[in-house]
Structures are given as C-alpha cells and as structure tokens.
Amino acid sequence: DFVPPRIEVKATAALPSMKPLQNNPLEVSAQYYFGPPGANLKVTAESSLKTMSSPFAKWKGYQFGLIEEQWSAQRFKLPDSETDAQGKATITTKVDIEPQTTHPLQLETNVTVFEVGGRGQSTKNSTLFWHQPYLIGLSPRFKDNLSGSNTDAEFNVIAVNQQGELLPTQNLRYALYEEQHDYVWFRSGTNWQYEVITRDNIITNGTLTLEGKAPTLFKVPVKYGSYRLEVLDEKSGVASSIRFAA
C-alpha cells in the first residue's frame, strides 16, 4: 500500500549564481509534516552540471551559446551528511573544472534525506553556473524560426553580465551561413540508416557593436534556404548562433 511521505525536504543555495572553484553552500532542512524537525537523519547529495536554456527570465526566448555545440552533463558526488537537532544540514557545492563550452550552464543538485525507516525524500536546487565573461543572446523577430524569403531577416542581439544586465560590447564578429544538408545512407545489419552531413556556405560577415542600452536590431538579407547566424567575440571566445529558414 502507498505510504505518504513523512518529511518535507527543502534546499536553498546561499548564492543565486556561482563560478568555477567557488563554494556555494546549500542549506538543507527536513521537517516532519505533523511533528518535530527531522533530526539526525542521513543526507546524500549529487550535483550535475548541465546546459541552461533560459538563464534569465527577462531574456526568455533568446538563444545563448552555439546551437551546434554539444555539451554532456558532468556529475559530482558530494560527501554524505546528517541533519542536526533542528533538522538542518549544510551541503557545500563546488565545481573544480572550468567548462569549455559557449552554453550557459546550471548546477543542479539533488538532495535526499532518509527517514528513520530508510525511505528517502528528495528535492532539487538549480543555480546558474557562470564560467564566461558574459553571454551573447540572439532572438529572431519572426515566429517559428521561419523568416520571409528575399527580404531582411531581423534579430535582437544582446550581451549580458552575470546578473542579466545589458553590456555595451564592441568588435563582435558576425557570420551568416547557408547550411546545405546531404543525406548519406548506409547499411547497419539488416537495416538501412542515414547520416546527415551539413556543409556551410558563408553568405556574409562583418563586425557588430552593441550599445548596451537596449537590444540591438540586426538585419541580414536572405533568400530561400536554411541558415545559421553566428555572433562571436574572438578575444574571449563568447559566442552564440541560431538556425532559421527563409
């Protein structure tokens, strides 16, 4: 028979965002639903460093990082702990690597507190992980990533700091690529499968300056086809790209 949870578990990070090699304590609390604090209970935790598609609510809908770049989540087992007499425990999260990716990341920590009978109750905490000087965001001014053909495709471009505030940025490089897709068929056992090979044909490039007072309007002429717009800071390696069709 189903037995409802006996304790409520919460985990709150001391910092809203963190950087490589920086400690960020998680305050864990365990409280019985109808009784005292969950004292002297075993606590386990595991963190996972993964991509974060929308790091700032204010800039929802913006693409941050190179869309063609892959990132595999990194996992970190944290030392076990135990709640004190008030049902509290502190878990210290820390990432000792400097990720080589243009994507914004988050450190997601899963905390489990075990009831006296051995059943675990879990909660998650997600914290923005800041490993780049800033982020470049791209947002199309058209729907469903489908721009009109034989006209200008329009985008909003931003650069933001760790708090999501706009930054003035100079000497960004942009490039518009037309993506041409080839399908290579091959046999795997008794089945036929295919692999998509993408070839980039550069259409135009140049420099871009962001004043940092509001999103910058960027226009680029397109014909019919599949495209990828890329904006890059060559000095820092910060970059973003977005795919669209026309």
**pLDDT band at residue 211, thresholds of 50, 70 and 90?**
very high
Cβ–Cβ < 8 Å for 236, 170? no
Give per-residue pLDDT as tens, 97-152.
999 999 999 999 999 999 988 889 999 999 999 999 999 999 999 999 999 999 99
**115: three-class secondary structure by DSSP:** coil
SS (H, E, C) 45-75: EEEEEEECCCCCHHHCCCEECCCCCCCCCEE
Nearest to 18 by CA among 127, 176, 177: 127
pTM, whole model, 2 decimals?
Answer: 0.88
State the Rg of the chain over Cα. Answer: 23
Amino acid identity of 71?
Answer: W
Degrees to nearest 5, angle at CA 158 with 152 and 164: 155
Which ranges constitute the DSSP H helices of the chain? none
Predicted pLDDT at 182: 82
Tokens of 49: 């460093």
242 contacts: CB under 8 Å, gap ≥ 6: 63, 67, 138, 140, 145, 155, 228, 229
Give per-residue pLDDT as tens, 144-185.
999 999 999 999 999 999 999 999 999 999 999 999 888 888
61 Rama sector, left if φ>0, alpha if ψ -120 to 50, beta otherwise: left
Give per-residue pLDDT as tens, 38-61.
999 999 999 999 999 899 999 999
Tokens of 133: 């000087």
Amino acid identity of 132?
Answer: Q
Paired with 151 in beta bridges are 222
190 Rama sector, left if φ>0, alpha if ψ -120 to 50, beta otherwise: alpha
